[in-house]
Chains A and B, each alone.
Chain A
């Protein structure tokens, strides 16, 4: 008579009509209380962890940015002074300029590479899995590892300069030369490490496109390039936008490669926003000031996220 839970679950999955009806409200209030208690107990570990290490630091960042906070825990309320100090600090504007410049190089670069990779993989018939894996592998490495490898590749006696010298064009100071060159070199490293992820998102977007549209374009006499430009790309626009926002946020958070490869140099040429935060916080222990930089970063990322949300909601409601 009594069917055990497992069988009942199996049955319920395939034949909902065989499952027992839900319990009639019998002592409904007591059951509700028990349910609430269970819910709270299950959520309790998360509540403690999030309360301490997410919610508290988020409010803490805002509060600390209004103080002068010293290492031993003494603090003095300053109001908006840290922010006026930021506005007058040339190093802050320099780091903001570096970060925007880096994003302007990095984002189009990574989108172009990952889109190209995805389009090629999409058109390929054989060995797709192999090439997909080969293109994706660098994504598994850390930015630290990527930085170490490319420091060697870019170094004066690395392979790149060996080839350039052989051609009579070197050596090129990839990580110590003019600012644009240094930021470009840093972007190359991040693109190498990161493009596999966006490539897979693009690839999924391409696979989801209806074949009929491309067929129609072909019948109308559109070549591969025209078909890509006028059919594939417009259809892919939401995916491109999604990747654009994600990679922009990644770009604004650039730190690891700079820490490993240039140390923010030469002469602050690659001193990004996070690097500035790190320096102020853990070199000069100016915690209040560093928190204010964190708030600025948060505002930038928030604006980007809101644009993304706006875009997607606008699309859904249509």
Chain B
């Protein structure tokens, strides 16, 4: 009886350090082994569903232009011609640059202004603090699409249509960033700030040398999600960046797709647009996974 209970499978989860029975190959262990093998196969099939479309993009992007052979056969040779072409013909490099600026500038400004605000909202007493905090949190309930029209009118009155600053400015208001950082700063021990005060550190120095280094983990997480969100955003760039001067990759890709561009070109552009996301994921996978499972950041 006890032997059965102490065997590896605990609700399908082998307990760490569970000692196998004296025989080493109990029937239950064999069942578990078979089950693990089935499980691996099922997951391999699901992975095919998630990854195969991405592999198809890469293959199509690297196939010779006049003979895209998928889905009937694999290409006989691979070439970088399509990728070289999209960088030399048309406005693709400009879109790439615009997307990069849209994402990078937003990350830097959002992180800086949000952590400053979060520090003040968590640690400083000033009139109107709670009202402001409440108002910022309340804006999280308003979908961006609901304020699309007035935001566009505002930017157009400021002369920001088809400009990069017009594209970037309205997206700098990020309530979620403030909310998350504030929780971090609020949980810091008061002694930290007392110590800084005693040593005569000014407000800015306290923020720059004490708060910022300590909130680095949450800043890293936010940087990833703010970047991905901007890099992949469509509706706002579509509305405000109607000419190439402020057109981002997503908007450019969408127009390429509806125009008469060849499949090879569209797929090459798609592949290039995905590479930064892939690099970020490869480098920071643990961070991304941990932040979703712990705080539920919505990218």
Per the CB 8 Å criterion, the residue count for chain B at the interface is: 111
Cβ-based interface call for A237 (8 A) = no
Report the separation of the CA atoms of residues A41 and B239 in the bound assembly, to the nearest whole angstrom: 33
Of the candidates A9, A53, A213, the one whose C-beta lies within 8 Å of that of B169 is A53
Of the candidates A122, A142, A277, the one whose C-beta lies within 8 Å of that of B145 is A277
Which of chain B's residues has its CB closest to A222's CB? B11
Contact A36 B125 (CB under 8 A): yes
Report the separation of the CA atoms of residues A159 and B56 in the bound assembly, to the nearest whole angstrom: 10
Contact A152 B60 (CB under 8 A): yes
Q: Write the B132-155 contact mask toward A (1 if CB under 8 angstroms, else 0).
A: 100110010111011111111110
Report the separation of the CA atoms of residues A73 and B153 in the bound assembly, to the nearest whole angstrom: 8
Cβ-based interface call for A96 (8 A) = no
Known: A4-B199, A200-B289, A219-B5. A291 touches B234 (CB 8 A): no
Contact A204 B293 (CB under 8 A): yes
Q: How large is the interface on A (under 10, 10 to 19, 20 to 34, 35 or more residues)?
A: 35 or more
A-B contact count (CB 8 A): 330
Contact B232 A274 (CB under 8 A): no
CB interface residues, B 155-172, toward A, < 8 Å: 157, 169-170, 172
Report the separation of the CA atoms of residues A152 and B210 in the bound assembly, to the nearest whole angstrom: 52
Known: A36-B124, A214-B11. A152 touches B263 (CB 8 A): yes
Report the separation of the CA atoms of residues A196 and B54 in the bound assembly, to the nearest whole angstrom: 15
Interface-forming stretch among A100-108, A171-179, A252-260?
Answer: A252-260
Contact B154 A291 (CB under 8 A): no
Contact B150 A297 (CB under 8 A): no
Contact B49 A192 (CB under 8 A): yes
Known: A148-B266, A197-B292, A201-B293. A43 touches B149 (CB 8 A): no
Residues on B with beta carbons closer than 8 Å to the beta carbon of A305: 141
From A54, A203, A211, A298, name the one whose CB has the most chain B CB atoms within 10 angstroms. Answer: A54
Contact B234 A142 (CB under 8 A): yes
Shortest C-beta distance, A150 to chain B (Å), equals 7
Shortest C-beta distance, B118 to chain A (Å), equals 9
Cβ-based interface call for B47 (8 A) = yes
Cβ-based interface call for B83 (8 A) = no
CB interface residues, A 180-232, toward B, < 8 Å: 192, 196-197, 200-201, 203-204, 211, 213-215, 217-219, 224, 227
Contact B13 A298 (CB under 8 A): no
Contact B43 A131 (CB under 8 A): yes
Shortest C-beta distance, B122 to chain A (Å), equals 10
Of the candidates A45, A163, A294, the one whose C-beta lies within 8 Å of that of B149 is A294
Contact A253 B277 (CB under 8 A): no
Shortest C-beta distance, B159 to chain A (Å), equals 13
Contact B150 A39 (CB under 8 A): no
Residues on B with beta carbons closer than 8 Å to the beta carbon of A125: 13-14, 36
Residues on A with beta carbons closer than 8 Å to the beta carbon of B152: 281
CB interface residues, A 135-174, toward B, < 8 Å: 135-145, 147-153, 157-159, 162-163
Contact A144 B126 (CB under 8 A): no
Residues on A with beta carbons closer than 8 Å to the beta carbon of B40: 124, 126-127
Cβ-based interface call for A268 (8 A) = no
Residues on B with beta carbons closer than 8 Å to the beta carbon of A28: none
Cβ-based interface call for A58 (8 A) = yes
Contact A224 B12 (CB under 8 A): yes
Residues on B with beta carbons closer than 8 Å to the beta carbon of A311: none
Cβ-based interface call for A97 (8 A) = no
Contact B50 A45 (CB under 8 A): no
Residues on A with beta carbons closer than 8 Å to the beta carbon of B44: 131
Cβ-based interface call for B176 (8 A) = no
Known: A5-B199, A60-B150, A143-B232. A45 touches B145 (CB 8 A): no
Cβ-based interface call for B78 (8 A) = no
Cβ-based interface call for A267 (8 A) = no
Cβ-based interface call for A49 (8 A) = yes
Known: A49-B113, A121-B43, A203-B293. A54 touches B173 (CB 8 A): yes
Cβ-based interface call for B63 (8 A) = no
Q: Name 26 A/B residue pairs within 8 A (Cβ), A-sorted.
A: A5-B209, A12-B189, A16-B191, A43-B120, A45-B113, A49-B172, A49-B173, A53-B172, A55-B135, A55-B139, A57-B154, A58-B139, A58-B146, A58-B150, A69-B153, A123-B35, A127-B40, A131-B44, A134-B47, A137-B281, A139-B299, A141-B274, A201-B296, A260-B254, A294-B146, A301-B143
Q: What is the interface of chain B, defined by CB distance below 8 A to chain A?
A: 5, 9-15, 35-36, 39-40, 42-44, 46-47, 49-51, 53-54, 56-57, 60, 70-72, 113-114, 116-117, 119-121, 123-127, 129, 132, 135-136, 139, 141-143, 145-154, 157, 169-170, 172-173, 175, 178, 189-192, 194-199, 201, 203, 207, 209-210, 228, 231-235, 238-239, 250, 253-254, 257-258, 263, 266-267, 270, 273-274, 277-278, 280-281, 285, 289, 292-294, 296, 298-299
Counting from the closest, the 8 A-B pairs by CB-CB distance are: A214-B11, A39-B124, A60-B150, A142-B232, A159-B71, A39-B126, A204-B293, A42-B120
